Structures are given as structure tokens and as C-alpha cells.
Amino acid sequence: MVKDLFVNGSIIISFLFLGGQLFKGETSTKSKINGKVLLGISCGLLGAVLMLFAIQVKEMIVDMRVVALAIATVYGGWIASLVAASIMIVARFLILGVNYISLIAAGGILGVCLFGVIVRRFNTLSTFQKYALVNVFGICYSFFVFSIVVDQRDELIALCIHYGWISILTASYSYFVADYLFKSYELFKRYEKESKVDYLTGLYNVRQFDALFNDQLRMVQERKEVLSMLMIDIDHFKNVNDTYGHGDSDLVLQKMGEVLKETVRGFDIVARHGGEEFAILLLDCPHERAQDIAERIRLAVEETEFPISEDRMIRITISIGLATYPETTTNTQQIIHQADTALYAAKRSGRNRVCAAEAM
């Protein structure tokens, strides 16, 4: 039995680490539903493999599939739980055939699934408490099955005791491994996001903007579309820094990020380009339309009150430079240079205005 426990533990840990690598490799653009389905499939296959490597306890053959189902339910919700349960039920029928005991086992799987989904809705419970309750329910259901198939009272008690401590031991180390891996995955995703997003404004940072810009240039050439770029600079921001300090001026930058995101279209790309400078890619946006959007942004900033402290607001203005491919240049490498040149022209001509590169 010790050997069987070791084998089951190795299988669970291997599946969890393999699943962790699959999740870590998942791109951030995939939907959460896909992730839950993937978790359900992984846990369902884990449960099926655990059935193949069942543990002999006294005269009974038992397995640890409830552990896999608990992981799917607690970490993936009803979608992962239902997927995992479906795979386990099919596997049970394929391995042992359709019979009385298999039908009882299938009922137990569905019961654990339903109980886990209900327990997961209680936000006052910790993850560990939810996981423990699901496993306890599964153990109790197994006790119920044992009471049906085992006639001798002494044998039943001995079987329940052995199965109980085996299940608790397996569920315990499985939880700690799974929890460690899921927390590592969440930390990985957080670091991945922080590597692409400016910490202060929540906009894309320069590195991510450059990557997206290159992708968009390739796509507009392939699809024969247009791409407009805005370079934006806060007027006299040095005076704001000198007067109020960097801490308070950060509030201005944060608010600026909010205004820009609210003013552009939902699919446009907004980034902080460094310091008080911002960049926006207006996707499939002709030059004339881009000038209207740029003017709308300028006016929105001019009319917005920016917080400096909890009870103090200031007004600021911005200058904007605009260039469009292929209307102002047919050289994709020149669009940034043109937008920068137009921005400097806006600042030289008095600030708080939009200057656009001339159309060819």
C-alpha cells in the first residue's frame, strides 16, 4: 500500500507540474474560459490515470480521483469541474464497464462536482477550506458506497479508517503542491503584465508599444489599411514638477492616462512614451479623421481638472503631433519621426494645439 501511495503521489505531482507549465505558457490574450476548460481536461485525465493506478485497501480497490475533482472545482469553478467530471465518468465506464458499481461511482463524481460548485460560491471560506470540504464530502460518499458492498461491520470500519487516512494524506500534499503552482502562475502572470504596462498610468509602456507598433505596421501593409500616430506632450510639465513635487505630479500623469483611454476608441493603442510624453496608435484611421480625434483629445484635456492633492485641482494643456501611413509618408519607418516633428512644431507655435504632418 505504501508503494501504491508513492505511485499515486508521483502521478498527482507530475500532472500538477505539467499543468502548471501549460498554464504558464498560455498567452494573456486567451480567454479565461479556455483556461478553465484546459484545467478541467487536465484534472479529468489525472482522475482517469488515478483510476488505473488504484490502491488496494483491505479487500477493496479504491482510487484518489476525488482529489483531482476537488482541484478542478476549487481552482476552476463549475466549468472545469464539469469537464473533469465528464472525463472521469467516461473513463470509469471504459475501464470497468457499465455496471451497478460504476453507476454508483458516476453518481458520486457528479455529487462531488455539484457539492464543490455550491461550496465555491461561499466567499467567506478560504481556498483551503473549500478544498477540504469537497474532499470530506467525497470521502463520506465513499464510506456510503463501502457500507453497500461490505457486509461485515468490522471489515467496514477497518476499510473506512484506512481509506480515510490515505485520502486525507493524499489530499493534503496535493493541495500544497497545487496551491504553490497556482500562486506561482498568478505571480508569473502579474510579472508578465507589469513588463508590458506602465506602473503609474496603467497604459502600455514603451517596450510593449514598440512591439505593438511593429505588429500594426506589418498588418497595415498586408491589408492595405491606414495607421495614424499621435505623439502627445504635456505643456510646461516641468513647472508642475517644480511647483508641486514629483509625488503630486504623478497624480496628473495618472489622470492623463484615464482621460486618454476614455477619449480614444476602444481598440486604439495608448501608451506612456516616457516622462510626460504619450503615444497613441489610431488603427485604420485616415488622416482627416485622426485630426478630429486629436482635437477631441486636446479639448478633453483642456476642460479636465487634474488633481494635485485631495482638495486641490489644476488645469493643464497638451500639444499633439500627428502623422499617418500612407497619407503623410509611404515609409513606415518615418511615421514616428513625422509625428515627433509635428509635435515640436505644435510646441514652437504656442502649445495647446494639434499639428499634423502634411498629406502627400
Give pLDDT tens digits for 277-322. Answer: 999 999 999 999 999 999 999 999 999 999 987 778 999 999 999 9
Same-domain status, 217 and 277: yes
Residue 246 near residue 303, CB atoms below 8 Å:
no
Residue 267 near residue 310, CB atoms below 8 Å:
no
Last residue of a domain, one of 172, 194, 216: 194
Q: What is the mean pLDDT of residues 69-87?
A: 90
Given this model, what pLDDT does residue 30 score?
43
pLDDT of 162 strictly over 90: no
Last residue of a domain, one of 168, 194, 220: 194
User: In percent, how much of the chain has pLDDT > 70?
Assistant: 93
Sequence-separated (6 or more) residues with CB below 8 Å from residue 296: 263
Q: Model's pTM, two decimal places?
A: 0.59
The verdict on residue 33 lying in a domain is yes
- What is the full DSSP assignment across 112-124? HHHHHHHHHT-TT
pLDDT digits (tens, 9 = 90+) for 30-51: 456 777 888 888 899 998 898 8
Q: Tell me whether strands 318-325 and 354-356 are parallel, antiparallel or unpaired.
A: parallel
Q: Contacts from 180-183 at CB under 8 Å and sequence distance 24+?
A: 181/16, 181/17, 181/19, 181/20, 182/20, 182/75
Same-domain status, 174 and 237: no
Q: Tell me whether strands 60-62 and 55-57 are parallel, antiparallel or unpaired.
A: antiparallel
Q: Contacts from 3-6 at CB under 8 Å and sequence distance 24+?
A: 4/53, 4/54, 4/55, 4/56, 5/55, 5/166, 5/169, 5/170
> Domain total for the chain?
2
CATH code, domain with 274: 3.30.70.270
Same-domain status, 160 and 251: no
Same-domain status, 244 and 114: no
Sign of CA dihedral 165, 107, 12, 71: negative
pLDDT tier, 189 (very low <50, low <70, confident <90, very high otherwise): confident
Same-domain status, 250 and 144: no
Domain span at 217: 206-356
Tell which wins on pLDDT, 273 or 26.
273
Residues facing 8 on adjacent strands: none
Same-domain status, 152 and 216: no
The verdict on residue 200 lying in a domain is no
Given this model, what pLDDT does residue 89 score?
92
DSSP letter (8 states) at residue 199? T
CATH code, domain with 80: 1.10.1760.20
Say which amino acid occupies 154: D
pLDDT of 155 strictly over 50: yes
Residue 40 near residue 76, CB atoms below 8 Å:
yes
Given this model, what pLDDT does residue 86 score?
93
Same-domain status, 305 and 258: yes
pLDDT tier, 144 (very low <50, low <70, confident <90, very high otherwise): confident
Given this model, what pLDDT does residue 59 score?
62
Last residue of a domain, one of 174, 194, 214: 194
The verdict on residue 306 lying in a domain is yes
Same-domain status, 227 and 248: yes
pLDDT digits (tens, 9 = 90+) for 121-133: 898 999 899 999 9
Same-domain status, 225 and 94: no
